[in-house]
Chains A and B, each alone.
Chain A
Amino acid sequence: MPDAHPTLEANSDESLACRIAEGPPGSTDAEEAELYRRFAPRVRLYGRCHLRNEAASDDLVQEVLLLTIERLRAGEVRRPEQIGSFILGTSRTMIQAGRRTTRRREQLSARFGLGKEEVTSLSDAALDGPRVAACLGALAERDRLVVMLTFYADAEAPRIANDLGVTSGAVRAIRHRAMARLRDCVLGGARL
């Protein structure tokens, strides 16, 4: 389906934030969705690093970005030109406070009509499941296991090193090599 607002992609983050802050209620749905699309992956990655939990990271995305949009709409973001810093700060605050405010998220979701499906980024849509599986299968056995343990089983580095009988430094080097190859294979179309 063609993007109904193709020109929004050319807008800066600052411009999007200002349009949401200054627009009449109900007139900036497309801008909000674009802001969500841009920052959801970054907040999720942030959550992954600090929470080490996939589901909690998805929750964090919802909470942070819905709150951001709420604050923008209310004119409570003092510097919309630094919207990235605002979102990062909000992410930090929410994690530090240990808030798992599911109820609040549900209230915000209902109020703004933003569902989880909108978290999906363009990069997700471009990733072909069977190809990703094939690219994983094409990795060396140990490289693939390090990727599975790190990014699927959420195992800590010392545990991985112990299980594989190698040093933590070796695990890190294996992971670098494996992710570079996976990225090339999945996104670069390298031959399997």
Chain B
Amino acid sequence: MTASRCEQITVADLTDYAGGECDATATAALEEHVFSCVDCGARAAEFDGLLRAIRSAIRSAGVGGFVTDAVLNRLSRDGVRVRSYTLTPGAIVPCAVWDDDEMMALRLRGDFGGVRQVTLTRRIAGTEVARVTSEVAGDSSGEIVHAVPAAWIREVPAVEVQLELLAREGDTERSIGSYTLLHGGVLHRRS
């Protein structure tokens, strides 16, 4: 027979607690229990380990996707080397990844007015290799930021990369902008 474990504190409770979503009463009650209950203390320890692993994974520049300047600023404070390219619709921009770059931030500009969902496609030599959709919309500055780990880019040979941002409006899609990166491959700094 397995002894029943205390389930008073859930992962959702810990998520609220760590995310600063609890009021003072709920916070105090959770803390009193977590510091005195073996089972919930272990669950809190597991959750703390998960938070540390999340931060470590992001800090190691292994996680890309749509981000905001708050994330990029934190990466910079953590010493992550971020190379940024700002692309306006129709732009054709030469680019490269240096051997010590860790993250590439693509600042994609366009008219995001009223847009609630965007899709970003990436084509290499005419073939679509990636498509991501998100409810993340561009802010009032008319820009959306997509981060790509530099390690991924190093795998790409010197080639033309075409990006397109699409906005979903009802059942149809409209193009926000097309952008072309003339990827020059990996550049090495002289020692």
Binding site for B on A (CB under 8 A): 12-13, 38-39, 41-42, 44-46, 48-49, 52, 54, 82, 84-85, 87-88, 121-124, 126-127, 129-130, 132-133, 136-137, 140-142, 144-145, 147-157, 159, 163-165, 172, 175-176, 179-180, 182-183, 186-187
Contact = CB atoms under 8 A, between A and B. Distances in A.
Nearest to B137: A165
Q: How large is the interface on B (under 10, 10 to 19, 20 to 34, 35 or more residues)?
A: 35 or more
Contacts of B27: 49
A121 B19 contact: no
Given A133-B62, A153-B71, 10 more contacts: A38-B45, A41-B45, A45-B18, A82-B36, A123-B45, A123-B49, A137-B65, A141-B134, A165-B116, A187-B46
Contacts of A172: 16, 19, 21
B53 A124 contact: yes
B49 A121 contact: yes
A187 B50 contact: yes
Given A45-B44, A54-B55, A145-B67, A127 B136 contact: no
Nearest to A165: B137
Interface string B51-87: 1111111111011111110110110000000000000
B103 to A, nearest CB: 12
Contact of A88 (B32, B45, B50): B32
28 contacts: A41-B44, A42-B35, A49-B18, A49-B22, A84-B36, A85-B32, A85-B36, A121-B45, A123-B45, A124-B49, A126-B49, A129-B53, A129-B57, A132-B56, A133-B60, A133-B63, A136-B54, A136-B57, A141-B132, A144-B65, A150-B18, A151-B18, A151-B55, A153-B73, A175-B15, A176-B16, A179-B11, A179-B12
Interface string B5-38: 0000001101111111110000100011011101
B128 interface: no
Contacts of A154: 74
B135 interface: yes
A141 B136 CA distance: 8
Contacts of B15: 175-176, 179
A88 B12 contact: no
A150 B15 CA distance: 10
Interface of B: 11-12, 14-22, 27, 31-32, 34-36, 38, 41, 44-60, 62-68, 70-71, 73-74, 116, 132-137, 139
A133 B66 contact: no
B63 A157 contact: no
A133 B45 contact: no
A136 B71 CA distance: 15
A45 B21 contact: no
A16 to B, nearest CB: 12
Nearest to B46: A123
Q: Which of A121, A123, A137 has the most CB of B within 10 A?
A: A123
B134 A152 contact: no
A146 B134 CA distance: 12
B62 to A, nearest CB: 4
